[in-house]
Structure 1
Amino acid sequence: MWREHEQWVKDAVAYIERHMREDVDVADIAEYCSVSRFHFHRVFRRHIGLNAAVYLRERRLAEAAVELLSTNKRILDIALEYRFSGQDSFTRSFKQLYGMTPNEYRKGFRCFRRAKEENRMKDFEENKEAQLIKRQAAPKGWMISGVYTHQYQVNIDPIHVHRGKASGMVRGADDADPQGFCTLMQMFKPGKYAGQRLRLSGFLKTENVKDCSGLWMRVDGKDEVPLNFDNMSDRPVSGTTAWGQYEVVLDIPPYAEAVAFGVLLSGPGKVWLDGIRFDIVDQSVPTTGSVVDNSQLPDEPVNLDFEMGFEGNGVSGQ
């Protein structure tokens, strides 16, 4: 049932991304997913952390914020485009989320954004590799790791945002070696999650990812020995995609000593990360990865006397 619910939520998020500028509401989204509004509301909140109406409004506000900085449209036109009843209601909602009016936001950040983009492009063209190395300053609480990390750029992005005021972004240079990767990550003690099944979820958006990107989580035991791990290698995010929710689910053994998580990018392209959540889930939610694939192990020890010969040649005792 969890997987069925997960698909409803993914379908709902994709529907919202396609119809933000249209006159749709929660009832339309629930109808699209072929579930009752009450049931949809409960499932959506369980997966996303807030109800669908709030989510839809905040996604519209985030896209409206992009319009404020990247276009010369009137604030009223932007408000109406994103289905607010007028400039007053748009301004109230925007100020509640961003702490300033749309006009203040446009005036305060537009010049900064333009200057930043112009300087970045100039520096990048003059000395691409040196710039990528220079920009490896991690956001507060995060760290950068990987292979060939000098070929990647990490930034806080106040423009491409899923909800709120900023997202994390990892960008691979056009000639980034696909054998390398960069991850923006954190580590923490298991604490209250020890002995529980833990679901990491977050929203990703990609642009021209040629190899792969995705969320990842690792559970370490004593001496940093990995106990459980998943990096979405069997379901990577590539190409250009709109904001979508992804998840990793792992068991946290009672003897675990650390949990690491983050977003990774391998090769050229960009990936944005926003809206990260950790939720304890029950055993009905399947895990998404592990260090050892137990399905490939025999039920009992075999060939203890070596009489079975070599695998594949059908020879015994030779």
Structure 2
Amino acid sequence: MYYSEVTQRVISYIESNLTEEIQLDTFPSVIGYSKYHLLRIFKQETGKSIGEYIRQRRLAMASTLLFHTDESILTIAFLFHFQSQEAFTRAFKEVYALPPGRYRKLMKAVQMIEEDEKLTTSKQIKGWGLSGSNPELYELVVDSNVFHTGTKSGLLYSKGVVNKQQFATMMQGFQAHDYKGKRLKFSCFLKTEKVEKCGAWLRIDNASGDAIQFDNMDNRSIQGTTDWNHYSIVLDVLEESASIHFGVLLNGKGKVWADGFRFDEVTEKIPTTNMLSVEQLPKQPNNLDFSQD
């Protein structure tokens, strides 16, 4: 997952301390790297400074409290370490285009109108589809209660009894034309609850529908219950590429939330994660007579 260990550890620390005072000077001792290295790597890999990331996540959490609690705006502002209600209002309006008070009223009004219709089925999710070996045993919905940024996330979960061999995926595809000859980094944020196995995936097909680049995180899959974290896949879009398909795969039972999908062109300095690469094969055949343990 080509957020490096450094960035992964920074994100994990931030997620665990969003309501605490976070000082950049404490990161070297907590994470184990120099402050300069942390700041440089985090900015390079996420496109945001550590401060910008913290601010974005605090505003997302604040929007949740505005929607689901009756805490005062001032209390929420101080909880997420804004110096005043005015500073919080300015920052919130930049992201959500509404001051927090109006946002709360609007969301409450929508909640009263829709009541239990907070989750939207996959048939109504623009661009996304539900597929897999047993899609009838899974549900794909939009979740307005749990999200990483913005106001919603995609939730894929098992319903009823499923086994480890059964799976489903939220997915979509698009033409490869604009990306031919480029190295593409696909990334997203995922959160899980009691999953047996899941991960993001990316596949690039040629005109015949054959997969020519593929990675489904099988060698670094997510298991159990995890907080929001960033995962990425890097593949080459070869000249013979015709289509690009991507999504999140859930094997067996559990729930996985997905948010913040993005595609970025990267240089060849970023190694590919292609699982079809011949480089991942041994140079010579071995144990041909089954005598080796």
| Same fold by TM-score greater than 0.5 | yes
CA change 1:152–1:295 in 2 (3 A) is closer
CA change 1:91–1:174 in 2 (3 A) is farther
Q: Which residue of 1 aligns with 2:54?
A: 56
CA change 1:261–1:30 in 2 (3 A) is farther
Q: Aligned letter for 1:312?
A: D
Identical residues among aligned pairs (%): 34
Moved more, 94-103 or 283-292: 283-292
Q: Aligned letter for 2:272?
A: T
TM-score w.r.t. the length of structure 1 is: 0.81
Q: Conserved in 2, the CA contact under 8 Å of 1:58 and 1:164?
A: no
Instruction: Select which of 282, 289, 292 maps to 1:312.
Output: 289
* Cα distance in 2 between the residues matched to 1:68 and 1:16: 21
Q: Aligned letter for 2:171?
A: M
CA change 1:112–1:173 in 2 (3 A) is farther
Q: Which residue of 1 aligns with 2:145?
A: 159
Q: Aligned letter for 1:160?
A: V
Q: Which residue of 1 aligns with 2:132?
A: 146
CA change 1:176–1:69 in 2 (3 A) is farther
Q: Which residue of 2 aligns with 1:129?
A: none
Task: Determine helix, strand or coil for the equivalent of 2:51.
Answer: helix
Q: Aligned letter for 1:247?
A: S
Q: Aligned letter for 2:259?
A: D
Task: Determine helix, strand or coil for the equivalent of 2:83.
Answer: coil
* Cα distance in 1 between the residues matched to 2:5 and 2:40: 14
Q: Which residue of 2 aligns with 1:41?
A: 39
| Count of residue correspondences | 291
Question: What is the CA distance between 1:116 and its match in structure 2?
Answer: 5.5
Structure 2 alignment gaps of length 5 or more: none
Moved more, 155-164 or 252-261: 155-164
Please state if 1:232 is matched with 2:217: yes
Moved more, 6-15 or 195-204: 195-204
CA change 1:76–1:267 in 2 (3 A) is same
* Cα distance in 2 between the residues matched to 1:286 and 1:232: 15
Q: Aligned letter for 2:262?
A: R
Question: What is the CA distance between 1:46 and its match in structure 2?
Answer: 2.1
Question: What is the CA distance between 1:292 and its match in structure 2?
Answer: 5.4
Q: Which residue of 2 aligns with 1:190?
A: 176
CA change 1:116–1:173 in 2 (3 A) is farther
Which structure would you say has the larger Rg? 1
* Cα distance in 1 between the residues matched to 2:74 and 2:252: 41
Question: What is the CA distance between 1:283 and its match in structure 2?
Answer: 2.9
Please state if 1:88 is matched with 2:86: yes
Question: What is the CA distance between 1:178 and its match in structure 2?
Answer: 3.2
Please state if 1:173 is matched with 2:159: yes
Q: Aligned letter for 1:24?
A: I
Q: Which residue of 2 aligns with 1:130?
A: none
Structure 1 alignment gaps of length 5 or more: 122-133, 303-309
